[in-house]
Amino acid sequence: MKDEELQEYIESYVFVKADENRLTSKQMKWLIERTYNAFRGLDVLQPLIDDPAITEIMINNHDEIFIEKNGEIYESKVQFESSEKLEDIIQMIVGKVNRTVNASSPIVDARLQDGSRVNVVLPPIALKGPTMTIRKFPERPLTIEDLIQKNSITEDVAEFLKQLVQARYNIFISGGTGSGKTTFLNVLSNFIPKDERIITIEDSAELQIKSVPNLVSLETRNANTEGKGEITIRDLIKSSLRMRPDRIVVGEVRGVEALDMLQAMNTGHDGSLSTGHANSTIDMLSRLETMVLSGAHFPIPVIRQQIGSAIDVMVHLSRLRDHSRKVVAISEITGIVDGQIQLTPLYEFKEEGEDAHGKIIGALQPTGETLQNKLKLEMAGMKV
């Protein structure tokens, strides 16, 4: 049955029942939507998905759901009828993207049709019952103008980063959970010139690059029930090198694939972009070392040389105590001195206090240091 036919059938049935039970128009509307969502939507979650002000849905179990709305976390009154109903919805979501989750493989990343990110953890790992976290995608991808308007970045710094992307500097974005790394990566990716070929690599496809027509999007795959068929980010990076990319955009590096990403940046794929979890740019460099060591037995000096040669600029994002997301540091990697990676801060966020509503006042300000590696800007014919 088509969606339109199902909607008409439900409406006609509800109209009959409304006469018998003297339902109000508001009750009828709720019953129609609730019934339709039970068949075609995400059941009780659908109204939360449809609410543009809600950015995250956190389901701890079938009767405990929290939402993030306008930067604040609230407990929702919405509940599933049972743990079994929640698990049915989970299976429907992961099934649509050819993923599998069950007691023997209880953790999976998936996505909704609109690209929203989904993480699922099932019992026995999740002790309270099936758990699902949905990071919603905005209906319209954010642009650099949106970030400027939200005071996440200044206009001058936005122009500086735009030039770096167009001049093919390798940029690595770091930040904590919920700091906006993927959103910022997407914004920077849309600065890439239209005549280039881009390969994006992600655990679960989230990037929404609209400006580049020659685009290939790759996504990892979990192993099947027999433990076979897994495709990792590392596999995809290796494969992408044979796809004639001008640039490679890796959604996030978490492990041994960091080495492949660095080697790609070092072998002619200038202008590549990636992200990683860390509390600061210095911490991110340490994490990259650890990631590479987890898959290769290289001496530390060799790893640092790889990092220093591959990454040109690091951008750090943070979610501040007023729940705002901001670029708080931009640094240039200028080489290796006495075995240590040299990180030169170019911009740092300076806090100036709070307004009457508790919003942090401050801005990303230049440190006085200037970009040392200007060769790529000069080769791109840009003003240095």
Do 330 and 347 meet the contact criterion of CB atoms below 8 Å apart? yes
Is residue 17 included in any domain, yes or no?
no
Looking at the structure, tell me whether residues 131 and 149 fall in a common domain: no
Is residue 65 included in any domain, yes or no?
yes
Domain that holds residue 153: 144-380
β 198-202/215-219 pair status: parallel
Looking at the structure, tell me whether residues 196 and 124 fall in a common domain: no
Mutual angle of helices 257-266 and 281-293, in 10-degree steps: 110
Looking at the structure, tell me whether residues 123 and 198 fall in a common domain: no
Into how many domains does the chain fold? Answer: 2
Is residue 2 included in any domain, yes or no?
no
Domain holding 122: CATH number? 3.30.450.370
Q: Sheet holding 171-175: strands in order across?
A: 215-219, 198-202, 247-250, 273-277, 171-175, 313-319, 325-337, 340-354, 360-366
Q: What confidence score (pLDDT) does residue 353 get?
A: 86
Is residue 27 included in any domain, yes or no?
no
Is residue 33 included in any domain, yes or no?
no
Q: What confidence score (pLDDT) does residue 368 get?
A: 94
Looking at the structure, tell me whether residues 149 and 96 fall in a common domain: no
Mean pLDDT by 10 residues, the chain (384 residues): 57 62 65 59 82 92 92 89 91 88 89 88 94 87 91 94 96 93 93 95 86 92 78 92 94 91 88 95 95 89 94 96 92 93 96 86 92 93 78
Is the overall model pTM greater than 0.75, yes or no? yes
Q: What confidence score (pLDDT) does residue 194 get?
A: 93
Is residue 339 included in any domain, yes or no?
yes
Q: What confidence score (pLDDT) does residue 5 get?
A: 60
Q: Which residues contact 22 (CB under 8 A, 6 or more apart)?
A: none
Is residue 15 included in any domain, yes or no?
no
Q: What confidence score (pLDDT) does residue 128 get?
A: 92
Domain holding 244: CATH number? 3.40.50.300
Half-sphere exposure of 112 (CA within 13 A, CB side): 21
According to DSSP, the residues that pair with 171 across neighbouring strands are 273, 313
